[in-house]
């Protein structure tokens, strides 16, 4: 498979230039090939190096699916999810969730989602709810696997927030930031170096003293939340 071949290949030579043209060809030959629309939408939205980072093309692909397949609620839901998770446009996300909830065969949990999205757009707990619903409602293994990974990422972000409260307390008390886990473990009497939900030790940025996800964790990179500063280069794990 083209996407898998690129993703598993040399990162410095990855290119996803042919991904959308291939999806366009496949869905032209079989306009009701639902797996191509839904898988393709996921692949297209993934940020480089895991994908081309093209949510616009993902939305265009799903809109074609809606036009060809009588307005399936799954495609509308997926578009809403792209606006929510990747584009942080909660008004558009709510619009698509509302439209999906009115489509034939839509599950009962979809109609309230529009109001929830508008009320708490960008809230981490609402993101967790959306991914759980996607995990439980999809019959596509790849989509369920992706949802499971996203839920673990959200757990990792919660853990980092909690650990950074400890790191900031240490810096305030000592008058300097912790530059290693040894300093923080001893200074705050931690039981050991904390690990992320994938089992990989977190790292400390020596310049800020803040806890981060290790660059080689299977959960990296973490999603950028609304209002967050641009991502900085990852910090290497302590030897």
pLDDT band at 228 (very low <50, low <70, confident <90, very high): low
Q: Please, is 119 exposed, middle or buried when counting C-beta atoms within 10 Å of its C-beta (0-12, 13-18, 19+)?
A: exposed
Phi/psi-derived region of residue 71, left when phi > 0, alpha when psi is between -120 and 50, beta in every other case? left
Beta bridge partners of 211: 204
Q: Tell whether 105 and 188 lie within a shared domain.
A: no
pLDDT band at 20 (very low <50, low <70, confident <90, very high): confident
Is 91's pLDDT higher than 80? Answer: yes
Q: Tell whether 140 and 45 lie within a shared domain.
A: yes
- Least Cα distance to 202 among 10, 190, 90, 76 occurs for 190
Q: Which two tokens stand for residue 201?
A: 């030790």
CATH code where residue 51 lies? 1.25.40
What percent of the chain is predicted at pLDDT more than 70? 87
Q: Tell whether 94 and 171 lie within a shared domain.
A: no
Helix (H, G, I), strand (E, B) or coil at 195: strand
pLDDT band at 51 (very low <50, low <70, confident <90, very high): confident
- From 115, 145, 175, the end of a domain falls on 145
Is 5's pLDDT higher than 50? Answer: no
pLDDT of 12 reads 57
pLDDT of 231 reads 56
Task: State the chain's mean pLDDT as an integer.
Answer: 85
Q: Tell whether 192 and 101 lie within a shared domain.
A: no
Q: Tell whether 55 and 117 lie within a shared domain.
A: yes
pTM of the model: 0.70
Total domain count, the chain: 2
Q: Tell whether 164 and 115 lie within a shared domain.
A: no
pLDDT of 134 reads 79
Residue 150 lies in a domain: no
pLDDT band at 6 (very low <50, low <70, confident <90, very high): very low
Taking the C-alpha atoms of residue 45 and residue 215, their distance in angstroms, rounded to an integer, is 21
- From 145, 180, 210, the end of a domain falls on 145
Q: Tell whether 39 and 116 lie within a shared domain.
A: yes
Q: Tell whether 39 and 104 lie within a shared domain.
A: yes
Q: Tell whether 135 and 182 lie within a shared domain.
A: no
Q: Tell whether 25 and 132 lie within a shared domain.
A: yes
pLDDT band at 147 (very low <50, low <70, confident <90, very high): confident
Is 128's pLDDT higher than 90? Answer: no
pLDDT of 126 reads 81
Q: Tell whether 173 and 141 lie within a shared domain.
A: no
Is 157's pLDDT higher than 80? Answer: yes
Residue 108 lies in a domain: yes
Mean pLDDT of all residues in 207-226: 89
Contact 106, 73 (CB under 8 A): yes
The residue range of the domain holding 85 is 2-145
Is 13's pLDDT higher than 70? Answer: no
Residue 69 lies in a domain: yes
What percent of the chain is predicted at pLDDT more than 90? 48
Q: Tell whether 22 and 85 lie within a shared domain.
A: yes
């Amino acid at each position: 498979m083209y996407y898998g071949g690129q993703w598993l290949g040399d990162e410095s030579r990855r290119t996803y230039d042919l991904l959308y043209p291939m999806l366009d060809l496949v869905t032209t030959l079989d306009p009701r090939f639902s797996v191509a629309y839904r898988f393709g939408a996921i692949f297209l939205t993934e940020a480089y190096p895991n994908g081309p980072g093209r949510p616009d093309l993902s939305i265009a692909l799903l809109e074609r699916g809606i036009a060809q397949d009588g307005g399936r609620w799954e495609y509308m839901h997926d578009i809403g999810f792209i606006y929510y998770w990747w584009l942080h446009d909660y008004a558009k996300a709510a619009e698509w969730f509302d439209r999906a909830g009115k489509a034939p065969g839509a599950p009962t949990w979809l109609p309230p989602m529009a109001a929830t999205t508008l009320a708490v757009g960008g809230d981490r707990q609402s993101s967790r709810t959306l991914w759980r619903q996607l995990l439980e409602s999809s019959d596509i293994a790849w989509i369920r696997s992706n949802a499971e990974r996203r839920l673990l990422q959200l757990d990792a972000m919660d853990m980092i927030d909690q650990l950074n409260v400890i790191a900031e307390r240490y810096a305030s008390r000592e008058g300097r930031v912790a530059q290693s886990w040894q300093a923080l473990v001893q200074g705050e009497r931690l039981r050991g170096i904390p690990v992320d939900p994938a089992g990989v030790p977190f790292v400390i940025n020596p310049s800020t003293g803040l806890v981060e996800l290790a660059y080689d964790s299977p959960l990296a990179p973490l999603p950028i939340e609304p209002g967050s500063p641009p991502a900085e280069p990852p910090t290497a794990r302590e030897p």
